[in-house]
Amino acid sequence: MTVHELRTRHDDSKRGDASDGAVVADQVGGRLSRVDGPAKITGAAKYAVEQQLEGLSHAVLVESTIAAGKVRSIDTAAAESAPGVVLVLTPDNALRLNTATDWLGTPPPDVPYCPLARNITFSGQHVAAVVAESFEQAVAAAALVRVAYDETPAIVDLSDAKAGDGIPIDAMTNEWGDAQAAFAAAPVRICAAYNTPREYQAPMEPHGLIAHWQGDRLTVWEPSQWLDGMARTYAEWFGVPFENVRLVSPFIGGGFGSKAFAYGYGAVAAMAAKMLERPVKLAVTRPQTFTAYGGRAATRQTVALGADAEGKIQSIVHRGVNETSVDGMWVEPLGSVTSIMYATPNFSSRQNVVRVNTVAPGALRAPGENPSAFGIESAIDELAYEVGIDPLEIRLRNYAEQDPEAKKPWSTRQLREAYAAGAEAFGWSRRSPEPRSMRDGNQLIGWGVAAGTYPVRRAYGEAMVRILADGSVEVESSSIDMGQGTYTILAQTAAEVVGVRAENVVVKLGDSRYARAGVTGGSRLAGVMTGAVHKAATAALDELVGLAISDPNSPFHALQANTLVVAEGRIKSPRGEGPEVSIAELLASVGREQIEAMGDTMPANSTAEDRYKNYTTIATALSHTEGDYSRHSWCAHFVEVRVDQDFGTVRVSRVVSALDSGRLYNPKLAESQWKGGIIMGIGQALLEEGIVDRRHGRIVNNNLADYLIATNADIPDIEVISVGIPDPHSSALGGKGVGELGIVGVAPAIANAVFHATGKRVRDLPITLEKLI
């Protein structure tokens, strides 16, 4: 992408806008405004399917209208003769593709892959596609495709009588002590079931792609959280070398976990493009985004807490279930927060998955931690009332001083500080403990608290840094920016290391031709990439200074200095003696066009195969409990709700959250991400629910008017407080995860506030009015 320089009416004070006065905005930790912002606010930012290509044709998907059974026949005659139609794809004429390796790196079975189904396992499955000269023609012709089915009974969801108990996932079993016996012996016991429905990522940019073959080389413009992973998938599907596939994704209109993989519709578009020998655009429609890939699986949990009379936990017994698809396996790790949030001598967590007729569920912001926190953070609140102590106090009484599961010290855990800072800013001490004891006219007021956490996922990364002849710096990586601020924090990192202004750094992302990058998921990208850019930029700076000292044509050659400093794009001796020249002048004097350095955090003895595996699968990701520490980010949410006592409508009127993401590379952007997570959590708590038509096993609210996400009018002002400290065990520059943390714990904080307001404990999300009246 190009960073557009635009004049603003007001000086936006790029310098001096620092969070603590000590950090200039240009450097790591500064509050630099997004460098890709000007492109986004002027309409200049080109998202993937907005590329204008000569000869572009348009594909539209035809989806199954039954949830289980077989396609008996597909009548394509009317569609084929419709105006402008150039191809109708069905399993009968589809190219034979290979099955691709999964994201874990598991070698695929040697069976062909067809993205168009004959055996139907969920409603909304792709069964055919129509390609036409224009989008309108393709839409019209797709409606003419007639599909006949032999329908069989479907298992519509977890509550279906046919669903059964599911499959135990042994890898999820996690036990220490004797949890059952300790629970039975505990003086205070609570046990309850907590449910979350199907939820959807619903990024504002729907999925889609433009696929274009030139010989056996494929270019795909597609919004992507993982260019190298998706390039591998396309390459394997079509049996071409990895290097022959180029993924381009300069801007991503939101992902939230949904844009990390190549899905069936991508195979359809690339196949059509190959067959037609012309570029094909396939824009997934908004309704199709509910079934073209999976959202968060519906979950069920039972949490049993045994405690002593003072509320000290003696035992946690946790059982979880999530749905998965008929032929796919998705495990939403429901015990992930349960096992680490509180100290307990006895613990047991087990999980089953249940196959139902749905698209394979996938990742949605904090998969696992999010529903897990809803269970344990609701349960601890129930225990607080059972024992008769403050919900904040019970959390402190059970504070885990080390990781209870890994039995290792935390790298950093500023959760106690988060409770203190959040409580102070919120005014928690003024809370009246009894439910229904605070009101404002007809509104019942409730104050609730809950904690959240997310593991620090780490990986190896690489980046290319160039110091160019004009003195500017260029950073290249095939990582991406979907709004987290990658362009900006990498510019800050390179600017700080090399010693130039951030405005003189151009960051290029979102093209798989650049230095490789693993998945942007699990809140890992910022830590991985700032580390890689820091390393590359340091190497580039070292070479620059080395040249300045030793090159016979350098103005510094006679100085015989040991080192030089670079600041504001100018080079000088640290003691101020001798000449001072710009980077551009130095490069000119020594006759260099540019300095180029690749930074790579892979172990030194890594082979080419290791690298390929590292960037195209998650097989080499580092455990958050590897080595001596357990690494997590932490937060505490304090929420005020107002519930209409007659109608049961719930409004969130105030949120204060204190969060520990370690060091923030750019507080301005991190705060935005935290707030975004909190807002998504408000939607999850009060609005979001995929509703299944039980007759047809179909999601009926597959659009943005019926699948409710929070609107501006649903959201109050939100205060976020950073309580993190640099964590050297988590990343090169001391940061921990930001993007997913904010949502974890929001839904239980709201449920707890609703209980405080009304005396009603809602254990099924979302908390809708019929559950309160």
Partner 1 sequence: MTSKTRIPIHLQINGHRHELEVEPRVTLLDALRDHLGLTGTKKGCDQGQCGACTVHVDGQRVLACLTLAAQAEGRAVSTIEGLAEGDGTLHAVQAAFLEQDAFQCGYCTPGQIMSAVACISEGHAGSDDEIREYMAGNLCRCGAYPHIVAAVRQAALEVASSMETAS
Q: Which residues contact 358 (CB under 8 A, 6 or more apart)?
A: 122, 157, 198, 294, 323, 324, 325, 697
The region of 38-46, 74-82, 318-326, 560-568 touching partner 1 under the rule CB under 8 A is: 38-46
- The answer to the question of residue 68 lying near partner 1 (CB under 8 A) is no
Q: Which residues contact 146 (CB under 8 A, 6 or more apart)?
A: 74, 75, 78
Nearest-10 crossing angle of helices 486-498, 525-550:
30
The region of 356-364, 378-386, 630-638, 669-677 touching partner 1 under the rule CB under 8 A is: 669-677
- The answer to the question of residue 283 lying near partner 1 (CB under 8 A) is yes
124 or 676, CB closer to partner 1?
Answer: 676
Q: How far is the CB of 135 from partner 1 (least distance, A)?
A: 6
49 or 262, CB closer to partner 1?
Answer: 49
Nearest CA to 252 among 19, 507, 46? Answer: 46
Element (H, E) at 71: strand 69-75
Binding to partner 1 in span 457-496, by CB under 8 A: 482-485
- The answer to the question of residue 251 lying near partner 1 (CB under 8 A) is yes
> Which residue in 80, 102, 133, 626 binds partner 1 (CB under 8 A)?
133
Q: Which residues contact 412 (CB under 8 A, 6 or more apart)?
A: 660, 662, 724, 725, 727, 729, 730, 736
400 or 669, CB closer to partner 1?
Answer: 669
- The answer to the question of residue 651 lying near partner 1 (CB under 8 A) is no
Please give the Cα distance from 73 to 89 (Å, whole number). 13
> Which residue in 252, 400, 621, 750 binds partner 1 (CB under 8 A)?
252
131 or 548, CB closer to partner 1?
Answer: 131
Q: How far is the CB of 481 from partner 1 (least distance, A)?
A: 9
Binding to partner 1 in span 708-737, by CB under 8 A: 709-718
Q: Which residues pair with residue 218 across a beta bridge?
A: 213, 245
85 or 467, CB closer to partner 1?
Answer: 85
- The answer to the question of residue 749 lying near partner 1 (CB under 8 A) is no
- The answer to the question of residue 126 lying near partner 1 (CB under 8 A) is no
The CA-atom distances, in angstroms, between 474 and each of 28, 115, 533 are: 17, 39, 11
Please give the Cα distance from 74 to 148 (Å, whole number). 6
Please give the Cα distance from 337 to 377 (Å, whole number). 9
Tokens (6 digits) for 463: 């980046």
- The answer to the question of residue 673 lying near partner 1 (CB under 8 A) is yes
Q: How far is the CB of 710 from partner 1 (least distance, A)?
A: 7
Please give the Cα distance from 206 to 48 (Å, whole number). 11
Please give the Cα distance from 399 to 415 (Å, whole number). 9
Q: How far is the CB of 474 from partner 1 (least distance, A)?
A: 22
* Single-letter amino acid code for the residue at 306: G
Please give the Cα distance from 253 to 521 (Å, whole number). 15
- The answer to the question of residue 44 lying near partner 1 (CB under 8 A) is yes
Please give the Cα distance from 314 to 307 (Å, whole number). 5
256 or 419, CB closer to partner 1?
Answer: 256
Please give the Cα distance from 294 to 360 (Å, whole number). 5
Positions marked catalytic: 740
Please give the Cα distance from 193 to 534 (Å, whole number). 47
Determine whether 603 is exposed, middle or buried from the number of CB atoms within 10 Å of its CB (0-12, 13-18, 19+): exposed
- The answer to the question of residue 503 lying near partner 1 (CB under 8 A) is no
Nearest CA to 360 among 328, 323, 321? Answer: 328
- The answer to the question of residue 52 lying near partner 1 (CB under 8 A) is yes
Binding to partner 1 in span 202-241, by CB under 8 A: 202-206
Binding to partner 1 in span 684-713, by CB under 8 A: 703-705, 709-713
Q: How far is the CB of 88 from partner 1 (least distance, A)?
A: 18
Q: How far is the CB of 39 from partner 1 (least distance, A)?
A: 8
In what side-by-side order are the strands of the sheet with 505-508? 505-508, 473-476, 462-468, 594-600
Angle at 342 between CA 340 and CA 343, to 5 degrees: 100
Q: How far is the CB of 40 from partner 1 (least distance, A)?
A: 3
- The answer to the question of residue 609 lying near partner 1 (CB under 8 A) is no
Please give the Cα distance from 172 to 166 (Å, whole number). 14
Q: Is the dihedral of CA 610, 517, 49, 102 positive or negative?
A: positive
The region of 349-357, 561-569, 634-642, 675-683 touching partner 1 under the rule CB under 8 A is: 675-683
The region of 1-9, 236-244, 334-342, 686-694 touching partner 1 under the rule CB under 8 A is: 1-9
124 or 166, CB closer to partner 1?
Answer: 124
- The answer to the question of residue 55 lying near partner 1 (CB under 8 A) is no
Q: How far is the CB of 37 from partner 1 (least distance, A)?
A: 5
> Which residue in 7, 96, 430, 695 binds partner 1 (CB under 8 A)?
7
> Which residue in 73, 81, 93, 134 binds partner 1 (CB under 8 A)?
134
Q: What is the DSSP letter of 410?
A: B
223 or 311, CB closer to partner 1?
Answer: 223
Please give the Cα distance from 363 to 505 (Å, whole number). 33
Classify 238 as helix, strand or coil: helix
- The answer to the question of residue 452 lying near partner 1 (CB under 8 A) is no
Q: How far is the CB of 6 from partner 1 (least distance, A)?
A: 5
Beta carbons of 418 and 658 less than 8 angstroms apart: yes
463 or 679, CB closer to partner 1?
Answer: 679
- The answer to the question of residue 53 lying near partner 1 (CB under 8 A) is no
- The answer to the question of residue 36 lying near partner 1 (CB under 8 A) is yes
Beta carbons of 494 and 636 less than 8 angstroms apart: no
> Which residue in 83, 112, 603, 627 binds partner 1 (CB under 8 A)?
83
Binding to partner 1 in span 300-359, by CB under 8 A: none
Q: How far is the CB of 3 from partner 1 (least distance, A)?
A: 12
Element (H, E) at 350: strand 346-355
10 or 575, CB closer to partner 1?
Answer: 10
38 preceded by cis ω (within 30°)?
Answer: no
The region of 127-135, 267-275, 525-533, 618-626 touching partner 1 under the rule CB under 8 A is: 127-135
5 or 609, CB closer to partner 1?
Answer: 5
- The answer to the question of residue 510 lying near partner 1 (CB under 8 A) is no
Tokens (6 digits) for 266: 């991508």
Classify 444 as helix, strand or coil: strand
> Which residue in 34, 632, 698, 756 binds partner 1 (CB under 8 A)?
34
Please give the Cα distance from 201 to 255 (Å, whole number). 7
- The answer to the question of residue 657 lying near partner 1 (CB under 8 A) is no
Nearest CA to 742 among 670, 650, 641, 687? Answer: 670
365 or 397, CB closer to partner 1?
Answer: 365
- The answer to the question of residue 45 lying near partner 1 (CB under 8 A) is yes
Q: What is the DSSP letter of 486?
A: H
- The answer to the question of residue 644 lying near partner 1 (CB under 8 A) is no
- The answer to the question of residue 679 lying near partner 1 (CB under 8 A) is yes
Classify 85 as helix, strand or coil: strand
Q: How far is the CB of 211 from partner 1 (least distance, A)?
A: 17
635: left (phi over 0), alpha (psi -120 to 50) or beta: beta
> Which residue in 29, 166, 229, 253 binds partner 1 (CB under 8 A)?
253
Strands (E) located in 106-177: 112-113, 119-120, 126-132, 146-151, 167-168, 174-176
- The answer to the question of residue 37 lying near partner 1 (CB under 8 A) is yes
Number of residues that bind partner 1 (CB under 8 A): 71
466 or 637, CB closer to partner 1?
Answer: 637
> Which residue in 333, 648, 677, 748 binds partner 1 (CB under 8 A)?
677
> Which residue in 146, 189, 286, 416 binds partner 1 (CB under 8 A)?
286
